Structures are given as structure tokens and as C-alpha cells.
Amino acid sequence: MAEQHNKNKYSIIVPTYNERLNIALIVFLVFKHIPDVDFEIIIVDDGSPDGTQDIVKQLQQVYGDDHILLRARPRKLGLGTAYIHGLKHASGNFVVIMDADLSHHPKYLPHFIKKQMETGASIVTGTRYVRGGGVHGWTLMRKLTSRGANVLAHTLLWPGVSDLTGSFRLYKKSVLEDIISSCVSKGYVFQMEMIVRASRKGYHIEEVPITFVDRVYGSSKLGGSEIVEYLKGLVYLLVTT
């Protein structure tokens, strides 16, 4: 497909913790899928004991340290601060955030970029819940709680996006800086807070279907405390946004 010359630069922030193999795979796939785009990958590693940072240094040998930036931190310090840390070193005018465990596939990066250029959107968010998107590796229970949580959130918050907890997103850098300064939640509620605040502030948000392959089988992250956290997060968002 013919693409107009893209003068933008994309900073891809990937927070990592013990992802020594996945980070290498992700870097390869990013280079494979957006070869003609100006980008940098900013890896914010929280002191992984498995040698992730050594692998990043090897990747820098292969791909160049102008494309692969290692901006490590001493220990696990949370996702929100990882993005803020990555943002400080981002030289692009657009920022992509994505997970490091390969549930977010870099092959969707061209879709995000194209959607943004076509619509001029401030944010393009990946959604797993529309046709063209999807998940793999989820049990029925997980789908049920996901759908239930989604319906509840939509009824209460009227967010304007179909996937609230997704974390595969493209932001204009200035927009991300603006929103992230007002978000205080942690974990996936943080992702919800980001997109809901953006929606309230009137930013133009577009969606792109993505597929999500869960490779961490059997790890059930949905206990009673998770549900309580989620409900608390919803009420907080209901009242403060």
C-alpha cells in the first residue's frame, strides 16, 4: 500500500521485568514490521535478575544504540512511573506503549500509525473486543469476568472506547505527558484511568482491532482481591473524572 512520507518519530516504550527472551523477539518483530518508519525502542527494565539488560546490550550491537535505548531502574517501581521514566528519554513526537511479554504483537504498529495519520487522532488504542481483534488462551471464566467488568465499566463511566484495560496504545507525546501527570492509579486501573481521563478531556481517540495471545497459561490473576481492587478503581474513576 502506498504510504505518504511519514516525517514523524515514534518512541516505543517497553517496560520489562524478566523478559530476556521476549524483549529480543519484540525488537526483531518491530524492525520487521516498521522498517521505513523513524522510531526508537526505549526499554525500561526494573533490575531484572534474569539478565534482560545483557540481552538488550546485545541487541544494541545488532541494531544500534540510536534505535534501542536502555533506560534501566534499580528495582520494580511500578508501571506508571516506568512510562514517565521512558517519556523523559523519548525523542519522538509520538509514543507507543506496549507489553513486553509478546501478548502485544508489533505487527499492529503499522495499523496504529496509519489510523493516526488518517484521522489525526491524539490517541489510538488497541481493542481486543471487536471483530478483527480477539484473544487466545483465555478460559471461559476469564472471558466472563472480562466481559462483566467491561459492561459494568461502560454502564458507569460511558468511556467511549471498547477496551478500557488494554495497554497497547499510540499517543501524541504531548497528550501522554498531559494525561499521565493527572493519573494516580496502579496496575490495570491505571490504564483505565488514562483512557477515561483522555476521553473526559476531549482528546480524539480512535481504535484499532488487535489480537492478544496470552502466553502465560494457567496464571489466574483473578482472585477476590483483584475484583475488589477493580470495583474500588471504578468508583474512584466514577467520582473523580
Partner 1 sequence: MKHIVKIMTLLVAITAVWISLLQTAMIPQSHTWLLPLYFIVSLGCYGLFMVGVGLMQFPTCPQEAILLQQDVIEAKEFLKHKGVDVGSD
- Measuring CA to CA, which residue among 15, 35, 8 is closest to residue 174? 8
Residue closer to partner 1 by CB (options 88, 201) is: 201
Q: Nearer Cβ to partner 1, position 78 or 110?
A: 110
Interacting span for partner 1 (CB under 8 A) from 54-62, 69-77, 175-183, 219-227? 54-62
Look-up of cell digits 519484540: 26
Kindly write out the interface string for residues 219-238 of this chain, putting x where it contacts partner 1 by CB under 8 A and - elsewhere. -------------------x
Residues 6+ apart with CB under 8 A from 114: 3
| Segment lying near partner 1 (by CB under 8 A), choices 6-14, 65-73, 143-151, 164-172 | 143-151
For residue 108, give the DSSP letter. G
Alpha-carbon gap, residue 168 to 126, rounded angstroms: 5
CB atoms within 10 A of CB 235: 11
| 58 contributes a contact to partner 1 by CB under 8 A | yes
Grid cell at residue 17: 521485568
Binding site for partner 1 (CB under 8 A): 20-21, 24-25, 28-29, 54-55, 58-59, 61-62, 102, 105, 128-138, 143-144, 147-148, 150-152, 155, 157-158, 200, 211, 213, 215, 238-241
